[in-house]
Structure 1
Amino acid sequence: MINERTMIRRSLLVLLWIGFVSLLSSCEEEFLEKPNTSGTVDLNEVYSSAINARNALMNCYRSVLVQGWPSGIGIGHGALASISGIHSKGYNWHGTWVISDSGLSPNPLDGNDSGGADNFGNNWNVIRKCFLVKENIDMVPDMDENTKTIIKAECTGLIAYRYMGMFYRYGGVPIVTKSLTSNDDLNIARASLQETLDYTLQLCEEAIAGLPSEWPADQTGRLTKGAVMAMKARVLMYAARPLFNSTTPYLSYDHNELISFGTADQDRWQDAISANEKVLEWAQLNGFELINSGGSSGEPNPNAFKDYATATSTPGNKEVILAYKYDETNQWNNYLSYYLNYSPYWTANRWDTDNLGLLSNFLSNYYREDGTDQSWPQVGDDAARPASDWLARIDAMEPRFKADHIGPGFDAANNPGDFNYSVEGWGRSLGNYGAQFPSGSGFGKGSGFSVKFFYQAGSRTWFEPPLFRLAETYLNLAEAYNEVGNSSQALSNLNVVHNRAGLPAITETNQGALRKIIQREKAIEFYMENQRYYDVKHWMLEDIGDGIIGGQMREMQFEVEPTASNKNLASSLIYYWDSNAYIAYWNPKMFLEPIPQSEVNKGIIVQNPGY
């Protein structure tokens, strides 16, 4: 029998796993979840049938792939967009508010084991789940050997997914190669950054070798060769970016090997290029492609709205290599959608997303539909602008903006004709109303709200988060080719995405200028897809503390007709202007996430610098 209290004091992994075991009884053979039976279940029972074993595997998928999304981040309220300079910070009981105000912390916050954006302990919990399936699947009597081999590869790929995530969140982390028991040495220190990368790549290669390239339609959402190839490509991009790929770390530290490679090596970009090119090769052989139904090479796509919206919203579309398939219709059981579906069809505590409006800081990333920059009001302007100017500028915005937003005076174009997606039927404020220039009436509503992931969704409240889209592969290649000085290939890959968005081709060849354009494209294309929070840190943007992650955050303000019964209507708006909303906290220690202080106190795990 396992003495839980003793184990908790011993090391990192105890804290990480006891939460599972304590839900059952404390025998070592007991499994983490119960299959289609009742009562306590041990390993022998779980692996006595194929159906039980598959349930265990599906539980691994559900636990692993939610990382970074609501219920898969450390903070219990909000989404990463609210600490990424994209959306407003929420209410003061939200973890996003606290992080925005005072930064990341190693101490518990909002239900997390630290005040960070990831749950460190949960990583080890779900990794252990995967190892248990991998190690015990051979026990199943009514399952053929080929299926067992594939399931082992799936488990390996899922473990790789979490190691990939920990790599760019923390740097070097402990390397675990099996489901440990109380008889193992659990005092496992952090491995170096290079060792962590090498182990992640090893897991990827092992998984790729054993996985199929496709699944039957009713099994989509399971790992394929291409999905794990995309994992490998992403982790190599993070290895090549300047946060890790440098001679010196971002802060002075006694353990530089945990947070820096100690060299700035261009070959890391070449490795990333090779991995991403292989993803494209796989995609072309297996029916995946960037959706562009109307644009010839190098020309703006006239069907940009439909194609982009389909790629980001329609389950099972041919651009998505892997999605998190959690199609839960019961809103009270679907915490994933809680902070990402703002529509009136979502009725479970809808007020909790009232203050997650679009910041002006991020609005300025979007292009006009002709590919030029939009001219928005600036803080300090001499006068407010008329509402007609707002509506005209919104009408001139690029298709991706229109596909992803609803705001003051303009309906959500992604569900045309649906009353609930109109300003008339939205049912709550879409803007900061009630002030007179130049003051602000408060903050939280910004320039409107996200409707991304719900193109032609109607009353559907769930969505399938796209984890790997081919658009990422093209933008990875654009970034990597630019870093090795190949502007021709960089532009070719960049314009695949930019043209699909209905915009004219980019022609800039200066490396520094092109780098900023590529980073801007990534921000727009992957709005709300949980990449910006990590991208801007690993790019080490010079202004990261000046209006991106930290610094002055701004929101549009609207003067409205005082007698208007529905202030969201275009006819209710009089003037608009930009206003300072709040100052978000930034400190260079936040380039990487904190390790929970409770783990550091055990004397085995060392903390990241600055915490």
Structure 2
Amino acid sequence: MLNTGITMKKTLITLLVTVSLGMTGCQDTFLQMPDTTGTVDLNEVYGSAKNAKSALMTCYREILLHGLPGGWGVGHGTLGAISGEVARGYSWHGTYMIVNSGLNVNGTDGSDAGADHFGNNWAYIRHCWTVYENIDRVPDMTPEEKNYVKAEALALIAYRYMGMFYRYGGLPIVRKSFTSPADPEVSMGRSSLSETLDYILELCQKAYDGLPEGDWSAADQGRMTRGAVLAIKARALLFAARPLFNSATPYIESAHNDLVCFGSSDPDRWNTAIEANEDVLEWALEYNYQLLNTGGAGVGQPNPNAFADYATATSTPANREVLLAYKCNETNLWTWPGSAIFYYNNYSNYWTNNRYDTDMSGLLSNFLELYYDENGDDIDWPKVGDSAPRDASDWLEKINGIEPRAKADNIFIGFDAFNNPGNSNWTANSWGRQTGNAAKTGEFPEVLGTDKGCAAPTKFYYNAGSRVWFEFPLFRMAEIYLNLAEAYNEYGNPTKALENLNMVHNRAGLPAITETDRDALREIIRRERAVEFYRENLRYYDVKHWKDENIDKGIIGGDMRELQFKVKADASGSLNLPEGLESYWNAVTYTSYWNPRMYLEPLPQSEINKGTLVQNPGY
């Protein structure tokens, strides 16, 4: 499969970033010119196809890391820890600090502001422009190959702009690498939201026109395709149609409203999003990219192979559901960014000594409640304020009967991993969910444990064995169907909305949804997105751009809940095993911060102080 994102071969990794890009690494500020003295030899970099392709590979490596550990601003934790999916982490984590006090204009835990690294975006975009501007110098590449590289560079720039678009709103429009500090555009300000979206669409069109019509050969699998570019365009237009931007008034009034909303609420933006996502679907089906559903039950019926199909789509390298992936197949745990990506999954035998970065980010009951049971019904979980705890047998029965996606996503207390059975990396026996004597001596309704939740994520590791790396999916076909479900529903076509929603819901092994009321169906579609894309870096932005009415009631802000487990006083061995569990209940373990200014990320205060860029409202 073309799992676009590029396989990082060892021979490519060894080339120095400073040489392959023709410039130094991350800059401290927005468009500050890099000091390249003694580090740049463009003649060498672009003197051979091998070196030039290495420069392109480095751009893939940098650009597509956006939002992943090592590629977002916060040094510790993941986006799921600030969107009500998993707990906040350790007290020194950036996610913990954001949960406690919100986004910070001066940076937290390695960021230069908020939950992104504003400066890195521009350094990496500049690297792509450097490749674009110099690839014609390469003597041993054909004109066709050079045009493909140019198109890939533009596609990567479009990807990064897409991500910044829904993080920040209106952005500076950068059209070159800026090789001279005297260039007046170095001091450019932010363009409007509309101009930024137009630029993303312009980049996508140019990239699309320059890329091959279909798939790459097997030797080049992983490179940008037209389908990936269409997916970038489709996601950008979906965010443009959502209530945060598609509004006559901004979420907070300011002197620069055009940076954060379009100034009108136009339902036709939903139709534009429909057209863009239908284009992705048409391309994908032509070139054999598809939602994995091998059950043979037909559309509208629960897929009997739901567990394997969903787990394969999210975990197996080079599967046909993934249009774009971050492919950094490092086998050395401590090779960046392989080590940073490895932090993303918080359950393996490397992390069970309770000292690494994400083993304190367990599944919150806030999110657990979104999963269905295997029949597509809601699950009756304990509520905060119940008069008594429930017997552990209730927990064991409910997890045995929970929907397949939950079992692929998590290792639950009392269970070995469903998605990697028998491997020592994935056993409940070594998890360490219960620590000390609190779980034996504590009484209902006390808080016996905080931040480990009721499960540790195992998503992305189906049948991984001892493999520590994984290929993070950036665009899956499931997203295209759920984009269409959302857009058709908002545009007033429930029939098409249900058709697309049930493609994903049925694949998950669940019976078809039949609801046609727009408001009720909206909530069902949003729930489906939450479950399907658990820990895929979408929920943090989805709920903000929906302006979800519950955003401060247990999603980004509000009370965060975790199930508490009491173990038997005579329990021996691991306290995580089913025979050791006695009872369980729900409890609020911390309260997360929310402020409406957090609908968008802040720009670094250091940049605002220069007088060129305008801050987002409320900061």
TM-score where L is the length of structure 2: 0.92
Distance 1:348 1:385, change over 3 A: closer
Q: What SS is found at the alignment partner of 1:558?
A: strand
- Cα displacement (A) at 1:489: 0.1
Match of 2:553 in 1: 546
Work out whether residues 27 and 120 of structure 2, in 8 Å CA contact, stay in contact via their aligned partners in 1: no
- Cα displacement (A) at 1:354: 2.4
- Cα displacement (A) at 1:215: 1.5
Aligned match for 1:501, one of 486, 508, 511: 508
**Gap regions ≥5 residues in structure 2:** 1-25
**Amino acid corresponding to residue 15 of structure 1 in structure 2:** T
- Cα displacement (A) at 1:436: 1.5
- Give me the whole-angstrom Cα distance separating, in 1, the residues matched to 2:556 and 2:202: 33
Match of 1:6 in 2: none
The 5 A counterparts of 1:255-404 are 255-294=256-295, 295-333=297-335, 334=338, 335-344=340-349, 351-404=356-409
- Give me the whole-angstrom Cα distance separating, in 1, the residues matched to 2:30 and 2:354: 31
Match of 1:484 in 2: 491
Match of 1:592 in 2: 600
Work out whether residues 544 and 599 of structure 2, in 8 Å CA contact, stay in contact via their aligned partners in 1: yes
- Give me the whole-angstrom Cα distance separating, in 1, the residues matched to 2:277 and 2:121: 26
- Give me the whole-angstrom Cα distance separating, in 1, the residues matched to 2:98 and 2:76: 11
Match of 2:203 in 1: 203
Q: What SS is found at the alignment partner of 1:332?
A: coil
Bigger mean CA offset, 218-227 vs 497-506: 218-227
**Amino acid corresponding to residue 316 of structure 2 in structure 1:** T
Match of 2:13 in 1: none
Work out whether residues 431 and 576 of structure 2, in 8 Å CA contact, stay in contact via their aligned partners in 1: no
Distance 1:145 1:62, change over 3 A: same
Number of residue equivalences: 583
**Gap regions ≥5 residues in structure 1:** 1-11, 27-39
After superposition, the C-alpha distances for 1:519-559 in whole angstroms (9 at most, x for unaligned) are 00000000010000000000000110111100000000011
- Cα displacement (A) at 1:71: 0.5
Aligned match for 2:448, one of 424, 441, 448: 441
Match of 2:128 in 1: 130
- Give me the whole-angstrom Cα distance separating, in 2, the residues matched to 1:14 and 1:178: 19
Work out whether residues 430 and 448 of structure 1, in 8 Å CA contact, stay in contact via their aligned partners in 2: no
- Give me the whole-angstrom Cα distance separating, in 2, the residues matched to 1:567 and 1:430: 6
Match of 1:30 in 2: none
Q: What SS is found at the alignment partner of 1:77?
A: coil
Q: What SS is found at the alignment partner of 1:378?
A: coil
- Give me the whole-angstrom Cα distance separating, in 2, the residues matched to 1:155 and 1:341: 33
- Cα displacement (A) at 1:350: 5.6
- Give me the whole-angstrom Cα distance separating, in 2, the residues matched to 1:105 and 1:406: 33
Q: What SS is found at the alignment partner of 2:498?
A: helix
- Give me the whole-angstrom Cα distance separating, in 2, the residues matched to 1:607 and 1:363: 36
Aligned match for 1:525, one of 510, 521, 532: 532
The 5 A counterparts of 1:385-464 are 385-424=390-429, 426-429=430-433, 433-434=439-440, 435-464=442-471
Matched, 1:190 2:190: yes
Work out whether residues 345 and 459 of structure 1, in 8 Å CA contact, stay in contact via their aligned partners in 2: no
Work out whether residues 560 and 572 of structure 1, in 8 Å CA contact, stay in contact via their aligned partners in 2: yes
- Give me the whole-angstrom Cα distance separating, in 2, the residues matched to 1:158 and 1:512: 36
- Cα displacement (A) at 1:345: 5.2
Work out whether residues 351 and 359 of structure 2, in 8 Å CA contact, stay in contact via their aligned partners in 1: no
Q: What SS is found at the alignment partner of 2:334?
A: helix
Match of 1:605 in 2: 613
After superposition, the C-alpha distances for 1:565-591 in whole angstroms (9 at most, x for unaligned) are 210110010000000110000000000
Work out whether residues 125 and 157 of structure 2, in 8 Å CA contact, stay in contact via their aligned partners in 1: yes
Distance 1:503 1:126, change over 3 A: same
Work out whether residues 475 and 497 of structure 1, in 8 Å CA contact, stay in contact via their aligned partners in 2: yes
Work out whether residues 60 and 126 of structure 1, in 8 Å CA contact, stay in contact via their aligned partners in 2: yes
Bigger mean CA offset, 411-420 vs 431-440: 431-440
Once superposed, what is the RMSD of the aligned Cα atoms? 1.6
Work out whether residues 377 and 577 of structure 1, in 8 Å CA contact, stay in contact via their aligned partners in 2: yes
Work out whether residues 347 and 431 of structure 2, in 8 Å CA contact, stay in contact via their aligned partners in 1: no
Aligned match for 2:574, one of 566, 583, 601: 566
Identity percentage over the alignment?
59
After superposition, the C-alpha distances for 1:313-350 in whole angstroms (9 at most, x for unaligned) are 00000000011000011111121112324111568986
Match of 1:37 in 2: none
- Give me the whole-angstrom Cα distance separating, in 2, the residues matched to 1:603 and 1:409: 56
Distance 1:79 1:52, change over 3 A: same
Work out whether residues 342 and 350 of structure 1, in 8 Å CA contact, stay in contact via their aligned partners in 2: no
Bigger mean CA offset, 429-438 vs 331-340: 429-438
After superposition, the C-alpha distances for 1:365-413 in whole angstroms (9 at most, x for unaligned) are 0000000000000000010000000000101100000111112111111
- Cα displacement (A) at 1:442: 3.2
Work out whether residues 331 and 346 of structure 1, in 8 Å CA contact, stay in contact via their aligned partners in 2: no
Matched, 1:245 2:243: no
After superposition, the C-alpha distances for 1:171-201 in whole angstroms (9 at most, x for unaligned) are 0010010111212011110000000000010
- Give me the whole-angstrom Cα distance separating, in 2, the residues matched to 1:443 and 1:348: 16
